[in-house]
Structure 1
Amino acid sequence: MIKRQHVVNDFFPEAEAMRTAYDGKVKNAYNQTVQWQYFCEPRMYTYLRTMPQQVMPEALWGRFTQHLKQWCIDHVGLLPTGTPNLHLMVNGCTLGLHSDFHNGTFGFVFSLTRWDTRKFSGGETLLMRDGVPSYKKHHVQGEVLYELVPAQFNQLLLFDDRIVHGTQTIEGSMDPLDGRIALVGHLRATSPVVTGPLDAAAARKTVFEFHRALAEPVKPYKDVQGVMTFRLSVDADGAVESVAVLTDNFVTAHSGYESNEDVAAVRALVLDAASKLRFAAASGPSKVTTAVLLPLPDLRPIEISIPHAGRPARLQEALKAQLKEGAALGFEVDAQSDGFAVREPLAGTIKIEPGRIVASFDPPMWVPSQRDHFQAILSENLGMLAKYAG
């Protein structure tokens, strides 16, 4: 079970091929075609970033993203949000202390850095430790306050996005071959994932009813916050045979990850309710992977309606192109006659009706800012589609 952070060594079998592709793109300054964004917020961030597809061959990048996605759903019960950024940090680059809870549940760093032969100091991911300041601690400094995680080659680091973190300032070479090179992104809950013969739509409905039923029991525990993901083994008759917890970062602001009675009570409550779920009968056993966010978020489905005055067939083609390019929202879709069925980042549909485009999605286990951002960006994109393809 993953709680606060987790390290996976030797994560991707083709990491050497990824690094070779990177080296080939940047080693000759006269032939270098990568478009880097110099991301500089004075006194906070200084680094270079780009889209990984500019560096990696399409087939190799596709295998990596599929490997990452499958590993995350299998081991964490969460999925990457869109496409990660490829970061390059050379002399003087730094990531100041910050928190990313608006971006995801867990942050991740996949390193392509030749750490053991590096020509720089710094570059470790700094994770602040839990703890309340106390006069009983005399002259507290260094790794009593934080942990430094080296960016070893082919290492995947996960950490709770609420943890204050940063990257130690790089001091050394300016050569992009000798810098800190890493893919950086975030993980977030998706709609319940079903494997097996169980009807997915019916299973999602059962899970959403479970979320709504938790509202009253968890009400006394207002200080408990975080995400628990788990995998339910469901028998053919619909009964839950077992509950396997994948991640659990329930905490209180005061206790952090230290033992806490309210956290223990909520954890027991959620697991007990999950074990008593009853799904529809199916032709055989199934697995259901899902998440619970506390405090419980808005449990209403996301509904967006955008008026248009265009031809549905033309809008369908334009929407297809837009969704294909919608990496920032992480869309995975299946075409239908009147629109698209969406699998990721949430299960739902986008349909083109006479006079309007209608988008409907499952209620997400996301904090309010994540839900608001998703709705705002999707509304903006669909609005532009309606305006220019009408």
Structure 2
Amino acid sequence: MMKRQHVVSDFFPEAEAMRTAYDGKVKNAYRQTVHWQYFCEPQMYTYLRTVPQQVFPEALWARFDQHLRQWCIDHVGLIPTGAPNLHLMVNGCTLGLHSDFHNGTCGFVYSLTRWQTRKFSGGETLLMRDGVPSYKKHHVQGEVLYELVPAQFNQLLLFDDRIVHGTPTIEGSMDPLEGRIALVGHLRATSPVVNGPLDAAAARKVVFEFHRSLAEPIRPFKEVQGVMSFRMAVAADGGVASVDVLTDNFVTAQSGYEANDEVAAARALVLDVAARLRFPDAGGPSKVIAAVLLPLPDLWPIEISIPHAGRPARLQESLKAQLKEGEALGFRVDVQGDSFAVREPLAGTIRIESKRIVASFDPPMWVPSQREQFQAGLNEKLGMLARYGG
């Protein structure tokens, strides 16, 4: 179960192939074709980054992407928010202390660094420990205040995005073959995921009613915040046979991850209500993965309508092309006639009608800023399609 942080060693069977592809791209300065963005915010961030598709062969990247997504939904009940960035850190590069509350539920770092033979110091992921250092505790320093997680080769590190974290300054080589090389991204909840004969739309409806039913009983636990994801084993008759917690980062601002009665009570309430859910009958057992965010967010669906004056058929083709390249929003889409059925980051549809483009998505288990960011990005994307795609 994922709580504050989690490390997975030997994560991807083809890690050596990924590293070989990277080496081949950067080892010859005269032939290198990778377009790196020099990301520098003085006194805060200094590193190079690019999209992974520039470095890894298409088929290899597709296998890694699928492996990462499937592992994340199976083991932590969350999905990546689009494609990660590939980071390169050489001498002088650093990530200052920060948190990523608005970016996701969990951050992740997948390392392709030859850590055991590195020629630099620094480069670990620094995670601040809970609590505020007391001025009464003299000579408090080092790993009493933080933890350093080495970027071991083929290691996936996940951690609560609210934790203040950073990467100590790299001191050593400027050679891109000898730097800290890692894929960096974020995870957050998606719409309920169903495996088995249970109808997915009907299951999502049950889960959304479950979310709404929590509004009153959870109200007394107003200090509890965080995400819990869980896998429900649903019997053929619709009853919940068991609930397995995948991620649990419920905390209070005062207690952090220390034991807390209010957190324990909120956790027990969510699990009790989940265990008593009733799904429709199906032809056999199913698994349903769902998540709860506290405080509960706005539970209204996302609805966007953009007028257009173009030809629907041309807009359809333009939208297909844009969604294929739409990793910034993390879309996974199935074309169904004249509409697009979206699976990730939320279940929903995008339709091209005669006079407007209509998008509708499930209520997300996201903090308000994440919802607003998604809506703004989608409004912009569909607005550009309406203006130039038809």
TM range (shorter): over 0.9
Pairwise CA distance, 1:349: 0.2
Pairwise CA distance, 1:136: 4.3
- 1:314-344 Cα offsets, whole Å, 9 max, x none, are 1100111111110011111111222201111
Matched residue, 2:302: 302
Asked if 2 retains the 8 angstrom alpha-carbon contact of 1:350 and 1:358, the reply is yes
Q: Which letter does structure 2 place at the counterpart of 1:283?
A: G
TM-score normalised to structure 1 length:
0.99
RMSD, aligned α-carbons: 0.6
Q: Give the fraction of aligned pairs with identical amino acids, expressed as a percent.
A: 84
- 1:7-26 matches, within 5 Å, as 7-26=7-26
Question: How far apart, in 2, do the equivalents of 1:250 and 1:82 lie?
Answer: 25
Moved more, 129-138 or 271-280: 129-138
Question: How far apart, in 1, do the equivalents of 2:137 and 2:193 lie?
Answer: 46
TM-score normalised to structure 2 length:
0.99
Matched residue, 1:248: 248
Pairwise CA distance, 1:138: 2.1
Matched residue, 2:55: 55
Asked if 1 retains the 8 angstrom alpha-carbon contact of 2:133 and 2:145, the reply is no
Question: How far apart, in 1, do the equivalents of 2:18 and 2:185 lie?
Answer: 17
SS at match of 2:47: strand
- 1:177-224 Cα offsets, whole Å, 9 max, x none, are 000000000001000000000000000000000000000011111110
SS at match of 2:198: coil
Question: How far apart, in 2, do the equivalents of 1:337 and 1:79 lie?
Answer: 27
Matched residue, 2:234: 234
User: Is 1:287 aligned with 2:287?
Assistant: yes
- 1:223-268 Cα offsets, whole Å, 9 max, x none, are 1000000000000000000000001000000100001111000000
Asked if 2 retains the 8 angstrom alpha-carbon contact of 1:132 and 1:254, the reply is no
Pairwise CA distance, 1:353: 1.0
Matched residue, 1:143: 143
Matched residue, 2:87: 87
Pairwise CA distance, 1:389: 2.0
Runs of 4+ in 1 over 4 A off after TM superposition: none
Matched residue, 1:376: 376
Structure 1's unaligned 5+ residue stretches are none
Equivalent residue pairs, number: 390
Matched residue, 1:109: 109
Asked if 1 retains the 8 angstrom alpha-carbon contact of 2:227 and 2:294, the reply is yes
- 1:93-128 Cα offsets, whole Å, 9 max, x none, are 000000001000000000000000000000000000
Question: How far apart, in 2, do the equivalents of 1:309 and 1:108 lie?
Answer: 42
Asked if 2 retains the 8 angstrom alpha-carbon contact of 1:127 and 1:163, the reply is yes
Question: How far apart, in 2, do the equivalents of 1:209 and 1:231 lie?
Answer: 17
Question: How far apart, in 1, do the equivalents of 2:340 and 2:223 lie?
Answer: 40
Question: How far apart, in 2, do the equivalents of 1:213 and 1:139 lie?
Answer: 50
- 1:36-84 Cα offsets, whole Å, 9 max, x none, are 0000000000000000110000000000000001100110000001000
Pairwise CA distance, 1:132: 3.0
Question: How far apart, in 2, do the equivalents of 1:124 and 1:135 lie?
Answer: 27
Q: Which letter does structure 2 place at the counterpart of 1:249?
A: N
Matched residue, 2:195: 195
Asked if 2 retains the 8 angstrom alpha-carbon contact of 1:190 and 1:344, the reply is yes
Matched residue, 1:316: 316
Matched residue, 2:330: 330
- 1:259-282 Cα offsets, whole Å, 9 max, x none, are 111100000000000000000000
Asked if 1 retains the 8 angstrom alpha-carbon contact of 2:347 and 2:361, the reply is yes
Q: Which letter does structure 2 place at the counterpart of 1:121?
A: S
- 1:18-44 Cα offsets, whole Å, 9 max, x none, are 000000000000000000000000000
Matched residue, 2:340: 340
Matched residue, 2:120: 120
Q: Which letter does structure 2 place at the counterpart of 1:365?
A: M
Pairwise CA distance, 1:134: 2.6
Asked if 2 retains the 8 angstrom alpha-carbon contact of 1:329 and 1:374, the reply is yes
Matched residue, 1:165: 165
Matched residue, 2:184: 184
